[in-house]
């Protein structure tokens, strides 16, 4: 008897979810998303505001977006309709990747705020996908552990771990440092 095959989901399956149901698609598998908690929202607001103000103060051409915002990624040797993500925050510097549906291609910088239900996905599945699809920088912000893990994917550097009382330098912006001690949880 042949082994049963795991169902492969595609972009159409994401678009056919019931109204209000959020999920991500990674390598053809659906990962449902729980609503964010208060700490998650405070961190998201703090980071979005800090990054937005920085870009705005420099008259920069990059844009920062927050979830829900669609990112259509294509990893090496994968088809285009097997990966749909909604990173908590992302920075896009190439306007040609943007259209009315979201971002088509790798953002320059993605930031994920870990929740209990997203821990495995953020630490492993998304890291691998972001790495293989060309994301330059990936931050994992973990409120439970009060750490920020910075992956400089563009330079294939080892990850650097910071605490919530540290200042963390962005790799894609020469003079952006985010002081996590200013974060009010």
pLDDT tens, the chain, 185 aa long = 565 668 899 999 999 999 989 999 999 999 999 999 999 999 999 999 999 999 999 999 999 999 999 999 975 555 667 899 999 999 999 999 999 999 999 999 999 999 999 999 999 999 999 999 999 999 999 999 999 999 999 999 999 999 999 999 999 999 999 999 999 98
Task: Report the distance separating Cα 178 and Cα 185, nearest Å.
Answer: 15
pTM: 0.93
Fold of 36-68+86-182: tt1808, chain A (3.90.1570)
Report which of 173, 182, 133 is spatially closest to residue 150, judged by C-alpha positions: 173
Phi, psi of 28 (to 5 degrees): 85, 5
Task: Report the distance separating Cα 17 and Cα 22, nearest Å.
Answer: 8
Handedness of CA 113, 116, 118, 123 (dihedral sign): positive
Task: Report the distance separating Cα 108 and Cα 91, nearest Å.
Answer: 6
Phi, psi of 14 (to 5 degrees): -65, -45
């Amino acid at each position: 008897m042949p082994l049963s095959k795991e169902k492969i989901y595609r972009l159409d399956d994401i678009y056919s979810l019931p109204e209000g149901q959020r999920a991500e698609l990674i390598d053809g598998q659906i990962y449902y998303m729980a609503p964010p908690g208060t700490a998650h929202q405070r961190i998201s607001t703090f980071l979005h505001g800090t990054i937005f103000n920085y870009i705005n103060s420099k008259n920069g051409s990059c844009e920062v977006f927050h979830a829900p915002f669609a990112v259509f990624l294509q990893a090496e040797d994968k088809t285009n309709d097997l990966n749909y993500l909604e990173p908590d925050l992302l920075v896009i510097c190439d306007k040609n990747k943007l259209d009315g549906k979201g971002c088509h291609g790798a953002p320059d910088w993605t930031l994920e705020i870990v929740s209990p239900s997203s821990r495995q996905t953020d630490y492993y599945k998304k890291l691998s996908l972001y790495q293989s699809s060309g994301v330059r920088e990936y931050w994992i912000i973990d409120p439970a552990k009060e750490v920020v893990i910075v992956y400089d994917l563009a330079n294939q550097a080892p990850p650097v771990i910071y605490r919530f009382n540290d200042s963390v330098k962005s790799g894609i912006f020469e003079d952006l440092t985010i002081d996590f001690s200013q974060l009010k949880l």
